[in-house]
Structure 1
Amino acid sequence: MEFVLDTADIDEVKELDGLLTIAGVTTNPTIITKSGKQSEEVFAQLADYLKPEQKLFAQTISTDYDGMLAEARHICGLRPKNTYVKIPVTRTGLRVIKAAKAEGLGVLATAIYSADEAFLAALNGADYLAPYVNRMCNYCDGVGQVVGLIRMLAAQGMDTKVMAASFKNVEQVRELIAAGIQAVTVQPPVVHAMIDHPGTEIAVAEFTENWKNAYGRTTLLA
């Protein structure tokens, strides 16, 4: 399974990449605008830092066919390999997905709110599908829809990977990992919640205190 960070903050990427096995980074227009940086700066920082085997995902802004396709080519040209354009699954977006895949570009279909939208994007050749799990919960059982999508793709023998996005809490991530999802992209606050269970810190403090009381030191080696 691929564990991906959903952020434009290069410092967060560096910190978490040092702690965890990170498969890549996703961004979107909102994340970039909230960073206070120009998109060119964000892309340059990420492209410079990520290892060749780590993936970079960036989204189109245009909503017309020609503009989206031009942006798709630009995004996929940011790095020699492992760079994917994120294309929303609008009617125009579905056309662009077909065209981009015909040119051999890497594609992640995004802004997905139903298993049906996702499956159609997979038929158009998308490499990844990004259902917005928590946002989907406003309309239906978001986690359930994504589990159903995983089953749909498996039943049809399709290689497209589901990369669930838009998580509100750790429980949503856990349920989909347990369901066999191929990838998740998670924002740093939720990642930190997965790492920093308070019980672990309590246990470590107890071990250290007991050792210090018995041996007068806080290290294993004398």
Structure 2
Amino acid sequence: MKFFIDTANLDEIKEAHDLGVLDGVTTNPSLMAKEGITGDENIIGHYKAICDIVDDNVSAEVIATDYEGIIREGEALAKLDDKIVVKVPMIKDGVKAIKYFSNNGIRTNCTLVFSAGQAILAAKAGASYVSPFIGRLDDISTNGLELIEQIVSIYQNYGFATEVLAASIRHTMHLINCAEIGADVVTCPLKVITGLLKHPLTDKGLEQFLNDHKKAQQKPAIA
């Protein structure tokens, strides 16, 4: 399973990269705005800064919703760096654009996917990744994990090369459940990735080992 971090914060990206488990980054306009990144030039510069940190797979989202606009923006983003994956919304013109990008060697991430039917269309168009949003489905009392499992099964049935990128991951159990059902990628906040490190028995065991070591280093009392 690949681990992507869902953020535009450079410090968080560096921390995840330094941990040695990071495979990519996903961003969107909301995450850019959260970091105070506004204006086309600043956004482009920020994408370049992200690409300087990670080894591959930087999803950069188009803003346009019409076919010509998506193509124009996507091609400009792809030219920034070979690591860029153009993030395209699951809309009619988006699917058409994904087909164009696929035919022209540009990787894509089809985002805002909420049904198996949408995932099939994205795969048929040649998307590199498809991003079902687990957390947002959970928010409306729909089981997002069941959708991931369904898409994985369909893709396996027909040998689609599109990778299932589980998005809107809210907590560590989301991540672990996605691993169990065969998602190719998860994208999540840094706290979800680092949350995998934590277990009370690990902390307790380490504390005991260190205390025992300290005792072993103490000089015996002189009679």
TM-score, with structure 2 as normaliser: 0.90
Structure-2 residue corresponding to 1:220: none
- Give ranges in structure 2 of 5+ residues lacking alignment: none
What is the alpha-carbon distance in structure 1 between the residues aligned to residue 165 and residue 214 of structure 2? 46
Asked whether the equivalents of residues 23 and 54 of structure 2 are also in contact (C-alpha less than 8 Å), the reply is no
SS of corresponding position for 2:195: helix
What is the alpha-carbon distance in structure 1 between the residues aligned to residue 44 and residue 159 of structure 2? 38
Structure-2 residue corresponding to 1:131: 132
Structure-2 residue corresponding to 1:191: 193
Q: In the alignment, does 2:172 pair up with 1:170?
A: yes
Corresponding residue to 2:209 among 207, 210, 218: 207
Q: In the alignment, does 2:32 pair up with 1:28?
A: no
SS of corresponding position for 1:163: strand
Q: Percent identity?
A: 29
Give the greater-gyration-radius structure (CA). 2
Q: Displacement of 1:139 after TM fit?
A: 5.1
Corresponding residue to 1:56 among 44, 58, 62: 58
CA RMSD of aligned residues (A): 1.6
The one-character-per-residue Cα deviations of 1:103-144 (angstroms, maximum 9, x if unpaired) are 221111111111211111101110110111111222521101
TM-score, with structure 1 as normaliser: 0.91
Does the C-alpha gap of structure 1 residues 197 and 42 become closer, same or farther in structure 2, counting only changes over 3 Å? farther
SS of corresponding position for 1:5: strand
Q: Displacement of 1:69 after TM fit?
A: 0.9
Does the C-alpha gap of structure 1 residues 199 and 39 become closer, same or farther in structure 2, counting only changes over 3 Å? farther
Q: Displacement of 1:91 after TM fit?
A: 1.5
Q: In the alignment, does 2:43 pair up with 1:39?
A: yes
Asked whether the equivalents of residues 170 and 188 of structure 2 are also in contact (C-alpha less than 8 Å), the reply is no
SS of corresponding position for 2:22: coil
Structure-1 residue corresponding to 2:8: 8
- Give ranges in structure 1 of 5+ residues lacking alignment: 218-222
Structure-2 residue corresponding to 1:65: 67
Q: Displacement of 1:212 after TM fit?
A: 0.4
Corresponding residue to 1:152 among 126, 151, 154: 154
